[in-house]
Chains A and B, each alone.
Chain A
Amino acid sequence: MDSLITHSPALIVALPLLAAFAIPLINRAGPRVRDIFNLVIFGFVAFFVAILAVDVYSVGIHVYTFGATAAELALPGGYTVPVRIMFEVDGMSIFMGIIITTVTLASLIYSLQFLKGRTGQARFYSLMMLLYAGMMGLAFTGDMFNLFVFLEIASIAGAGLAAYRTNMADAVEGGFKYIVISAVSALLVLFAIGILYAQYNVLSIAALANYMQYTTLDMMALGLLGGAFVMKLAGVPLHMWAPDTYTVAPAGTTPMILAASYTAMYALYRMTFSLYGGHIDTTAIGWIVIIIGVLSMFIGVMMAVHQTDIKRMMAYHAISQGGYMLLGLGVGLAVIADPVALANYGRDAMNGGIFHIINHVFYKALLFMTAEAIFFRIGTRDTNKMGGLARNMKWTTAFYIIGALAISGIPPLNGFASKLLIYESVLRFNPVLSVIAMFVSLVTLASFAKVFYSAFTGPPMPAYKEVREVPKSMIIGMSILAVLIIFFGIFPGLIVDTIVAPATDALINQASYINAVMGAVP
C-alpha cells in the first residue's frame, strides 16, 4: 500500500494514457468489453486519486521524480539543482485533481448511452482518456516544460472532442476556434519558458522560484504567461471562443473542456503565487486579476441574458462565474504582502474563490448535461421552440432546478456558501466590487428563471407529446453531481476545512513549495 501511495502520481497520469492507446485494440472485441474496460480503469484511477489526496493532506507535499533511483530523490548526490522531470503535488494540485476526476467520472457514465448509433466511438473514449491524462498532468506538474506538453495534450484532445460531430457545420467551427486559441496560447507559453531558461538554466518550477531575480525579461515572461493563460480560461477580453466551443461539444465532454479551462486558471495561480511569489508587486498584479474578473462577471452575464440558445446562455454564464474566482483570488493576491489584511479577509477571499471553482464546475456540468439531455430528446437547443417539458422529463427538470438554484446562490445549495465568502471578504477590501458581484448574481437568477418558464413549464407543444425521459446512464451521471451539490451545500464548513483551506495554504506558502524540492536530502 505504501508503494502504491508513492507511485500514485505517475500511475494517475500513466494509466489513462495506457487505456487511451489500448482502446482501439480492445474495441475489436465489442462495445460491451470496451465500456467495462473504461469503467474498470477509471475506477482504479479514482482510487489512486483518493489515496494520494489522503496522503497529501496528512503528510505534506508529495514529490515524484521520474527515472531516478528513488521516487523522492529530487537532488541526486552532489547536485544542487534538480535535473530530472518531477511531479510536485501540493494542496492546490490535488484539489484540482479531485475536481477533474469527479467530473470525468460523471461524464464517462453519462456518455455510455449518449453515443448510441454514432461511428468512431472508440476514438471518442480514447480522446476522453487523453484529455483526462493531459489535465491531471497539468495539475500535478512541477516542471515548466511538462506544463507546456500537458497543456498541448489537453488542448488537442479537447478540440478533437469538441468537433466530434462532424456532420454538423457549427461543431467543426467551434472546435476550430478552440484549437486556434489553444495553439497561440501554448506558443506564447513556450516563448516565456525560453526566456526563463535562457536566464536561469533550470526548468523546474521550484528551482526557478529559488533563483528568481525579477529582471525586465522576467516581467516580459510574466506578461506572456499571464496573457496565454487568460486566453485559455476565457477571461474577458479574450473570451470569444468560449460560447462557440461550449455550445457545440457533445454531451459528456463539455464539462471536461470546462475543467480544462479551470486547470489553465490553476496554472495561472501557480505562476503568480508560487513561481514569482514575493518578487512581483502583488498589489498591482492583484488589481489586474481583479479587473479581469469584474469585466468577465459583468460582460458574461450581460451577454447571457438575451440568448435564445440554451447551451450558449450557459456558456456565457460560465465566463461570468469564472470572474468570481478571479475576483476572490485577485483580492488574496493583492493583500498577500500585508499580514493583518491577509489574516482578516485575504484568506477568506481566497477560500471563497477556490471553493467557487469546485462548486461552479459541479453545477455548471450538471446544467450542461441537462441541456444536452433536452437536445438528445427533441433535437433543438432553441428556447423559443421548447415548451412544457416538465411533464415528460421529470428527472431532467429536477436536475435543472437544482443547478439553477445553485448558480444563483440560493441556500442551502453550494453556490450560496462560496458566494457568501466572496461577498463578505471583498466587501472589506473594496465595497464597490462586492456590490457588482451581488448585482451579477441577481441577473444570473433572472436569466435562469426566464429559461425555466419558457422551456419547462407552460402548455406542452404538440410536437413533443411523446418525448420520454433520457436513458438510465445519463440520469446516473447527472445524479452523482446533484448529490454532491446538495452535500456541499449542507456541510460547507466541513468542505472548506478539509479540501479548500489546504489549497489556500499551499498557494500562500511559497517557501514550502520550494523546500520540498530544493531541500530534499539524497
Chain B
Amino acid sequence: MMEHIPLNFPFLAAALLAGVAFYIIIFKRNLIKLIMGIALLASAVNLFLVALGYRAGGNAPIYTDVPPGPMVLPVPQALTLTSIVINVAVLALMLTMVVHIYRHTGDIDSKKSRRLKG
C-alpha cells in the first residue's frame, strides 16, 4: 500500500493546510479563530520541513540500536523541533492577550473590539 502513495503527497498536504490557514487569517474576524489559523500555518510549515527530509526506506537518524540501512535527514527534524518550541511560546502569548482584550471590551470579534482607529 505504501508504495502506491505518490511521494509528493506530504507536500500537497502542506500546501493545502497553508492555503486553508491563510484563508482563515485573512477573512475570519473572531480572534480565537485567528489564533487557530496561525497554529494551522505553523503545522503546515512543520509538516513541510519534516517531509523534505524523508528518504524512501530510511530509518530514524539515531545511532542507538538502529537497524542497518539508510537514514532520513536529521537537520530538518532539528529545525522542526525549534519551530514547535517557538510556536508554543507565541501561541501562549497570543492567547493571554486575547483574554486581556476580552476582559477590557467584552467581545472577541475583531470589528467590535477595536479601540485604535484611523
A/B: CB atoms within 8 Å of each other: yes
Q: Indicate whether A173 sits within 8 Å of B45 (C-beta atoms), given known contacts A194-B76, A307-B118.
A: no
Residues of A within 8 A of B13 (CB): none
- A166 interface hit (Cβ, 8 Å): yes
Bound-state CA distance A155–B82 (Å) is 16
Residues of A within 8 A of B42 (CB): 183, 187
Contact with B along A334-348 (1 / 0, CB 8 A): 000000000000000
B100–chain A nearest beta-carbon distance, Å? 4
Bound-state CA distance A107–B18 (Å) is 39
Q: Indicate whether A149 sits within 8 Å of B86 (C-beta atoms), given known contacts A187-B42, A194-B52, A194-B76.
A: yes
Bound-state CA distance A247–B115 (Å) is 12
A184 touches B38 (CB 8 A): yes
Q: Which of A166, A203, A307 contacts B75 (CB 8 A)?
A: A203
Q: Which of B75, B101, B118 contacts A197 (CB 8 A)?
A: B75
B25 touches A184 (CB 8 A): yes
Bound-state CA distance A149–B85 (Å) is 11
Bound-state CA distance A157–B98 (Å) is 17
A312 touches B118 (CB 8 A): yes
A169 touches B79 (CB 8 A): no
Q: Nearest B residue to A176 by beta-carbon distance?
A: B97
B25 touches A173 (CB 8 A): no
Residues of A within 8 A of B90 (CB): 152, 155-156, 179, 183
Contact with A along B90-118 (1 / 0, CB 8 A): 10011001101100110000000111101
Bound-state CA distance A32–B110 (Å) is 42
Q: Nearest A residue to B114 by beta-carbon distance?
A: A173
| Chain B interface category by residue count | 20 to 34
- A277 interface hit (Cβ, 8 Å): no
- B49 interface hit (Cβ, 8 Å): yes
Residues of B within 8 A of A174 (CB): 116
Residues of B within 8 A of A186 (CB): 86
A179 touches B94 (CB 8 A): yes
Bound-state CA distance A159–B96 (Å) is 12
Residue of A193, A194, A203, A307 with most partner-chain B CB within 10 A: A194
Contact with A along B11-34 (1 / 0, CB 8 A): 000000010000001000001001
Residues of A within 8 A of B25 (CB): 180, 184
| Chain A interface category by residue count | 35 or more
Bound-state CA distance A176–B86 (Å) is 16
Q: Nearest A residue to B18 by beta-carbon distance?
A: A191
B45 touches A187 (CB 8 A): yes
Q: Indicate whether A169 sits within 8 Å of B89 (C-beta atoms), given known contacts A184-B38, A194-B76, A194-B79.
A: no
- B83 interface hit (Cβ, 8 Å): yes
B35–chain A nearest beta-carbon distance, Å? 8
Contact with B along A231-269 (1 / 0, CB 8 A): 000000000000110011000000000000000000000
Q: Which of B31, B45, B104 contacts A190 (CB 8 A)?
A: B45
Bound-state CA distance A479–B75 (Å) is 48
Contact with B along A143-167 (1 / 0, CB 8 A): 0010001001001100110010010
B115 touches A197 (CB 8 A): no
Residues of B within 8 A of A190 (CB): 45, 49, 79, 83
Within 8 A of B (CB), among A167-220: 169-170, 172-176, 179-180, 183-184, 186-187, 190-191, 193-194, 197-198, 203
Q: Which residues of A contact B (CB under 8 A)?
A: 145, 149, 152, 155-156, 159-160, 163, 166, 169-170, 172-176, 179-180, 183-184, 186-187, 190-191, 193-194, 197-198, 203, 243-244, 247-248, 307, 312
Minimum-distance CB pairs A-B, first 7: A169-B104, A170-B115, A172-B100, A176-B97, A198-B52, A244-B116, A152-B86
Q: Which residues of B contact A (CB under 8 A)?
A: 18, 25, 31, 34, 38, 41-42, 45, 48-49, 52, 75-76, 79, 82-83, 86-87, 89-90, 93-94, 97-98, 100-101, 104-105, 113-116, 118
Known: A156-B86, A176-B97, A194-B52. 13 other contacts (CB 8 A): A152-B86, A155-B90, A156-B89, A169-B115, A176-B94, A179-B93, A180-B38, A191-B45, A194-B49, A197-B52, A197-B76, A243-B116, A247-B116
Supply 22 A–B pairs (Cβ within 8 Å), ascending by A: A145-B79, A145-B82, A155-B90, A156-B89, A170-B115, A170-B116, A173-B101, A175-B97, A176-B97, A176-B98, A179-B97, A180-B94, A183-B38, A184-B41, A187-B42, A194-B45, A194-B76, A197-B79, A243-B116, A247-B116, A248-B116, A312-B116
